[in-house]
């Protein structure tokens, strides 16, 4: 069925942030939720470990704040973290009221502990399928609203900007049919960009489209050099980098190198529960090859755990491992880091306002500064709930009339099979280069090699797009190039090591010069600008009024 040419609100993405926002928007107007595949295909759906939330009063909330700030390595924007931990309990309570079923024992919610959390505060569902349950329950809440329309298998390929305001989106459906939808405002909730890297825990939809489109349209990006590499993705040749949740270490798993040593004592006092960036680099240094396809020398070891039934606690992980002949109780499980979560993104204030009028962002695609240089495990599902709801409230408060949407999207010429193959080759080359040159350990020469690869991909994809050719994959290639370019530029500019960003040539944290956020796309200023964010000026900066 054809889409209407106008909606009050367009939400790009059907993960936790987009669905939560849509639920709020739906009581006040028509909402179009666009998603590249089915509603369930998102990072949210694959989230395993759980959602961090402090539900036991002020002292509990204060501890959650402390842990979030400590993990962020000096760069967490305090007011954003305060909002996250303080509003989190109410958003989670609403989710439970709305039908989300978290694991319980004797009627009480079960809580687990993960790396860098000072106490057990992670709620989980169906053992290790928390994201799927959150996605299911939010989608059911959204579908109960008659005013939400879902456009599945549809790609947002562009933002429509008129007189400096975002007034709509260009879409491409699975048959390559183009259309344009006008709206009062648009929310980018399109998730992360793990597909920038050849080794990632993210599904194939995570190509950073929202970030790339916002940047292309003129919005600022922030903190793009901070890509979190999850320490423990399954490392088997030819098998996707399936995530082995932090909760395994929360339940007591050890990390061992190929000599059988528990090596984390050489890296951090918290051992296996050290912050993610520390654990990931420790694994890299213990002999893991940084190139795809190399042999594996680091293992998760749960063989000593006897108190709990790991199969029951981690049914999804157990089933996946069984397909490959591995068992949590019996075997050493080979692991390696993989790109997992982007701390940076489209710069927003605490109400999800970007620097471009009419455009809002929430969830992994956005950067409020809440994670600083390194996200605390299980804080991102909470982020999607809290900031998705906040962005929706801003969109409602900043109500603007709909513009007349006459102009149609220009239909692209379909790519030939040879063009499609070319696009795949460009993407694969970019992904390998980003992994090799802009991954866990970086320096100026490798980052410059990354820039060369990015330019090669951008020029090939740009040439096809310049011929007015179009497809979802070409649109993704363009997005991957833009996001890679932003990561590389920001990583080159930050000549220090902090959180997830580690420079071999600048191995120390340099607070005097770099206790600041990196900004790309500041009008009138070329390249990366570094700035401190403080409560007063930060809230007045992203100027989304129109």
Ligand X SMILES: Cc1cc2nc3c(=O)[nH]c(=O)nc-3n(C[C@H](O)[C@H](O)[C@H](O)COP(=O)(O)OP(=O)(O)OC[C@H]3O[C@@H](n4cnc5c(N)ncnc54)[C@H](O)[C@@H]3O)c2cc1C
The residues annotated as belonging to the active site are 276
The pair of structure tokens assigned to 259 is 């000599």
Is residue 138 near ligand X by the rule CB under 6 A?
no
- Helix, strand and coil percent figures for the chain, each rounded to 5: 40, 20, 45
- Please select the residue that binds ligand X; options are 156, 253, 278, 356, rule is CB under 6 A: 156
Taking the least distance from each CB to ligand X, the nearer of 151 and 492 is: 151
Cβ atoms of residues 492 and 501 within 8 Å: no
Taking the chain, what is the end-to-end CA distance rounded to the nearest angstrom?
33
Q: How far is the CB of 108 from ligand X (least distance, A)?
A: 20
Contact partners, residue 76, CB within 8 Å, separation at least 6: 68, 69, 369, 370, 371, 372
CB nearer to ligand X: give 215 or 341.
Answer: 341
Stretch that binds ligand X, among 16-24, 89-97, 427-435, 537-545 (CB under 6 A): 16-24
Nearer CB in complex with ligand X: 374/379: 379
317 touches ligand X (CB under 6 A): no
Q: Which of 22, 25, 51, 159 binds ligand X (CB under 6 A)?
A: 51
14 binds ligand X (CB under 6 A): yes
Task: Give, as one character, the DSSP assignment of residue 365.
Answer: G
DSSP characters for 374-412?
Answer: SPPTT-HHHHHHHHHHHHHHHHHHT--PPPP--PPPPPP
Residue 158, both tokens: 């562009």
Q: Are 479 and 192 in contact (CB under 8 A)?
A: no
Does the footprint of ligand X cover residue 49 (CB under 6 A)?
yes
Beta carbon of residue 536, minimum distance to ligand X (angstroms, whole number): 28
- Residue 384 as a binder of ligand X (CB under 6 A): the answer is yes
Q: Tell me the closest approach of the beta carbon of residue 229 to ligand X, in angstroms.
A: 12
* 53: number of Cβ within 10 Å: 30
Determine which residue in the list 7, 10, 26, 35 makes contact with ligand X, applying CB under 6 A. Answer: 35
| C-beta nearest to ligand X: residue | 15
CB-wise, 171 or 298, nearer to ligand X? 171
- Contact yes or no for 191/342 (Cβ under 8 A): no
Round to whole Å and give the CA distance between 128 and 241: 16
236 lies in the site for ligand X, by CB under 6 A: no
Measured from the CB atom, the residue of 205 and 219 that comes closer to ligand X is 205
Tokens 């998760």, residue? 300
Smallest separation, CB 42 to ligand X (Å): 3
The mark string for 178-197 relative to ligand X (x by CB under 6 A, - otherwise) is -----------xxxx-----
**Residue 129 or 328 with smaller CB distance to ligand X:** 129
Q: Is 16 in the site for ligand X (CB under 6 A)?
A: yes
Min dist CB 169 to ligand X, Å, is 8
| 378 interacts with ligand X by CB under 6 A | yes
DSSP, residue by residue, 244-297: --HHHHHTT-EEE-TT--BGGGGT-TTGGGS-HHHHHHHHHHTT--SSTT----
Q: Exactly one of 130, 185, 198, 374 binds ligand X (CB under 6 A); which one? A: 130
Closest separation in Å from C-beta 281 to ligand X: 20
Q: Count residues binding ligand X (CB under 6 A).
A: 45
Using alpha carbons, select from 325, 324, 302, 301 the residue that is nearest to residue 313: 302
Candidates 79, 114, 37; CA nearest to 274 is 114
Nearest residue to 87 via CA among 353, 390, 301? 390
Region 345-364 residues binding ligand X, contact defined as CB under 6 A: 363-364
Q: Any contact of residue 131 with ligand X (CB under 6 A)?
A: yes
According to the binding rule CB under 6 A, does residue 34 interact with ligand X?
Answer: yes
CB count within 10 Å of CB 431 equals: 23
Query: Which residue's CB is nearer to ligand X, number 155 or number 497?
Result: 155
Q: Of the candidates 54, 71, 95, 243, which one interacts with ligand X according to CB under 6 A? A: 243
| Side-chain half-sphere exposure of 48, counting CA atoms within 13 A | 23
The residues near 418 (Cβ < 8 Å, ≥ 6 apart) are: none
Per CB under 6 A, 276 contacts ligand X: no
Residues that bind ligand X (CB under 6 A): 12-18, 34-37, 41-44, 46-51, 130-131, 155-156, 189-192, 201-202, 205-206, 209-210, 243, 341, 363-365, 378-381, 384
């Amino acid at each position: 069925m054809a889409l209407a040419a106008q909606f009050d609100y367009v939400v790009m993405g059907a993960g936790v942030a987009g669905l939560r926002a849509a639920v709020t928007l739906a009581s006040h107007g028509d909402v179009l939720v666009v998603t590249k595949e089915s509603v369930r295909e998102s990072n949210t759906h694959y989230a395993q470990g759980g959602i961090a939330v402090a539900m036991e009063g002020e002292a509990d909330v204060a501890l959650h704040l402390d842990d979030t700030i400590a993990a962020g390595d000096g760069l967490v924007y305090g007011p954003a973290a305060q909002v996250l931990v303080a509003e989190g309990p109410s958003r989670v309570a609403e989710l439970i009221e709305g039908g989300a079923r978290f694991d319980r024992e004797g009627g009480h919610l079960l809580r687990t502990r993960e790396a860098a959390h000072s106490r057990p505060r992670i709620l989980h569902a169906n053992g290790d399928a928390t994201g799927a349950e959150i996605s299911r329950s939010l989608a059911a809440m959204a579908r109960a609203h008659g005013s939400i329309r879902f456009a599945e298998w549809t790609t947002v390929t562009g933002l429509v900007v008129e007189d400096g305001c975002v007034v709509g989106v260009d879409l491409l459906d699975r048959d390559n049919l183009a259309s344009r939808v006008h709206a009062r405002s648009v929310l980018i909730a399109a998730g992360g960009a793990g597909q920038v890297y050849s080794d990632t825990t993210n599904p194939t939809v995570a190509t950073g489209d929202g970030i790339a489109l916002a940047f292309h349209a003129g919005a600022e990006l922030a903190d793009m050099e901070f890509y979190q590499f999850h320490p423990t993705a399954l490392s088997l040749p030819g098998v996707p980098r399936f995530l082995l949740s932090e909760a395994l270490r929360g339940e007591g798993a050890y990390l061992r190198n190929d000599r059988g040593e528990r090596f984390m004592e050489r890296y951090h006092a918290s051992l296996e529960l050290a912050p993610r960036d520390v654990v990931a680099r420790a694994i890299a240094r213990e002999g893991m090859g940084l190139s795809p396809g190399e042999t594996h020398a680091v293992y998760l070891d749960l063989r000593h755990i006897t108190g709990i039934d790991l199969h029951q606690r981690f049914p999804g992980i157990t089933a996946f491992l069984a397909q490959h002949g591995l068992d949590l109780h019996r075997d050493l499980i080979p692991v390696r880091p993989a790109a997992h979560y982007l701390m940076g993104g489209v710069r927003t204030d605490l109400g999800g306002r970007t620097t471009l009028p009419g455009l809002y962002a929430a969830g992994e695609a956005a950067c409020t500064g809440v994670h600083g240089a390194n996200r605390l495990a299980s804080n991102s599902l909470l982020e999607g709930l809290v900031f998705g709801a906040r962005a929706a409230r801003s969109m409602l408060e900043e109500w603007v009339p709909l513009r007349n949407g006459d102009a149609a999207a220009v239909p692209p010429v379909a790519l030939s099979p040879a063009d499609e193959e070319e696009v795949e080759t460009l993407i694969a080359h970019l992904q390998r280069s980003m992994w090799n040159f802009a991954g866990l350990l970086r320096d100026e020469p490798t980052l410059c090699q990354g820039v060369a690869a990015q330019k090669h991909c951008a020029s090939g994809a740009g040439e096809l797009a310049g011929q007015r050719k179009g497809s979802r994959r070409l649109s993704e290639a363009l997005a991957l190039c833009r996001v890679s370019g932003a990561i590389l530029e920001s990583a080159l500019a930050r000549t220090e090591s902090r959180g997830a960003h580690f420079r071999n040539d600048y191995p120390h944290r340099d607070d005097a010069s770099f206790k600041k956020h990196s900004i790309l796309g500041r009008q009138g200023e070329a390249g990366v600008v570094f700035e401190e964010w403080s409560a007063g000026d930060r809230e007045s900066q992203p100027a989304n009024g129109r």
